[in-house]
Structure 1
Amino acid sequence: MEKVTREEEIDEIEKIRMTLGAHLEELRRRVVYSIIAIVLCFVFCWFFKVQILDIAKKPHRFAMGKAGLSSELQVLSYQEGFYAYMKLCFITSVFIAYPFVIYQIWQFVRAGLYKKEKKYILLFLPISYLAFVVGGVFGYFLLIPFGLQFLIGILGPGIQPIITMQQYVSFVFMLTVALGLVFQLPLVMLLLSKIGIVSPDKFIAWRKYAILVIFIIAAIVTPPDPFTQTMTAVPMIILYELGILIARPTKKGFILLGTAVGCGAIAVVGVYFYFTHRGGEINVSNPYGDIQILYPGDRGWKKVSGHMSFQKGITLKTGKGGRTVLSTKKGVNVGMDTNTEAHFFDSWKMQLKTGQILISMKESEIPLEVDTPNGRIRMNKGTLNIQAKDIVTIVTAVNGEATLLIEGEEKKLLEGRQHKMSIGGEPVDIGAIINWSEGIVTKSDEQK
């Protein structure tokens, strides 16, 4: 009975089999439909390119915000932004048009498939799209932001990265597409098994080679750092085990998959906790009164109401009656008085824009540098009181010594001494000098 059914299927396929020319014409028609769909989606995306870029930048803002750096993307030429937007809109349009393109592929190949193969592929296509989306979401919310944070974090203090718009768009969408394709692995394995091309036993026998290939693929599609490569390879290994399990469900397979998923979940939770809850380099404590903070890359100030921890790149501003204390892991404590604004580049460099601060630090080989409107102050230990006014900065060495850099010259400030820093000399009463000089000139003219 099965043989007769098989023969009937073959006869039915033979009746609708097209010539080579008809195949090419059908292929051309499906390709044209797909291109038109992508072009229409591209035009739609172009009108919302700024909003799409803003969505794509969220992993970047997360990583740079944790590092205390500006999240603004750079362009190195006039045309770079245009090309980056073109690439951004094209890839987004492919994502949107993906279901329609898959449907066109299905319409082209369905005529040459048996009923059993049609059933498998009809089930495979929607699940494939869902797996593609899940892979992209995994990269967008987990792999990319934490991978970027790791890469930025290893730079260390005093380094300002220049991330171009073109580089970022290429990097993010390459990883997103790669992960979307990687998450197709279990479905491809199941389809190959059901069609009879590869048996589940072969997948089990190839496991050790598959793990090696997975790490090679992860090294190719990710940046050259072990963290991102491992975060890409571990899900691929779990997906491979899932493919074996759904191709041939066994009790041992469920145990292996459960172990792999459990270990992967613990690793993901550990990574998430490490990157989101680790202590910052700068801690704000004892806030009192009106205190506001400006994060790097943000334009609006936010109110500080309790103890907070940051990495670097923040700006603090105290209003009338506001005071607070900052401390770093490097042994530096900074007390901010009322009506003071200061920017903290990192643990070893800050800028006092206006107001008064009291700095106390333990002895260190790395000097602490404080930029003021009238010069730079450098210290290795001790306690300094710095008051920045409109045209003069008053520095008092309460304990220890400091070095003052004013207009290219260095001056030592000894303990118990005070110095007024001003660019171009001390302020004077210009009007009194003019009056005095005019009197002298008048008397001289009268004598002549």
Structure 2
Amino acid sequence: MKIVVIGGGAAGMMFSTQYKKANPDDEVFLFEKSSYVAWAGCPTPYFIADELKKSDVLHGTPEDFIKRGVNVKIHHKVTGIDFQNKTLNVEGEEINGIFGYDKLVIAVGAKSFIPNISGYSKNLTNVFTLSHAEEAFKIKDYITENKDKLKKAVVVGAGFIGLETAEAFNKKGLNVTIVEKAGEILPSFSEKLKAGVYKEIENRGISLKLNAGVTEIVSQDGKASAVKLDNGEIIDFDIALFSIGITPNIDFIPKNLKTDQGKIVVNDKFETNLPDVYAIGDCIFNKFYKTDRNLYAPFGDVANKHGMMLAKYLSGKNISWKGLLRSFATSFYDIKLAQTGLTLKEALDLGFNADVVEMHAMYKNSGFEDSIPGKVEVVYDKDKKVLLGGSMVGAQAVAQFIDQIAIVTTLETPIEKFIEIDFAYSPTNASVWNPLLVVYRKVIK
């Protein structure tokens, strides 16, 4: 059997290594157009801020995986696919031309989305995107090479990567402006929960401009100097990041592969609509857990799960990918945010008889000087008495609290059973009242 994988990111490398381990007699070829494999996108803003090393972004070299039996070919770009004849068009130094496969795994990831903005060009020396490790290295190198000249930075887009990179630029001593076309940041969080984030942005000396779309990039001789907003305002900069969003990198794939809104459609076995063609990672639509609702979740942990699950399936295991609750976490300086499942608005729009429990969560006894309560909102079904989702903002243990909510939501654990869970407690490590116990007290009366 010859398995061919397109893309050497988290999904592609996890699949390749796990499949080869289970099927040592099969050939596994992996084509990656860049210089790197096994790279992680989520740590890149912290690498730019000098808080993580390059080795924290790259989790292995091509040679590491070649030693494990995977035929890794970097600098090899797949430019076309003939699904009927099971062949690829490959452009590379070692393999250049037609290359056949028995089974194909598409793990091409996603690229930054740039709308039609006047003056934008990939060749501008000081305007960057950040959807690949290579781009992080270019940003870091540019800052290092021009550290005495850089004073002002503009970040277009206030999503996870935008906020995290704005923090990185700020820590590098730059005067940062965030430009966001929408009227708010982090739209899935309630205004109560994210009020502290707005305050922290202000406290850090970062300018945030909402309801502000970029219409033009002003440049001369290949170097940009300013962005013009739709209200006519001009913001000067020395370096800019466009972090508006990402879209699957599937432009080269023939149209007979089924897609929806630019994402590849797969079933619970990661099978596409074409025989012997599979897709995993940031290029596919997931399902919202146990539903038929499409959910785009371009997260590193999800990509790794995809790779592992598909390797099991193609090795003869009976697996079923049931989808996701959209669990995620991020931070801005010392403020940590995490969320899972449905928001209250989403739950009501879907017809649930839903309500929300609001509370403060303590990480330790409130008497300690560094004990700062987190704010929590838990959404539940009033009829079935089960959780539907939750959000939290705080200084510590935020993702861990949300993970607990994700577990009981996934398992549909009745709220009345929460009192039976034996949570750990000590004054220095946890509160007497775990947030799930607070939900129990407020819902089960």
Q: Same fold (TM over 0.5)?
A: no
Instruction: Give me the TM-score of the superposition, normalised by structure 1.
Output: 0.22
Larger radius of gyration: 1
Instruction: Give me the TM-score of the superposition, normalised by structure 2.
Output: 0.22
Larger helix fraction of residues? 1
Higher relative contact order (CA 8 A, sep 6+): 2
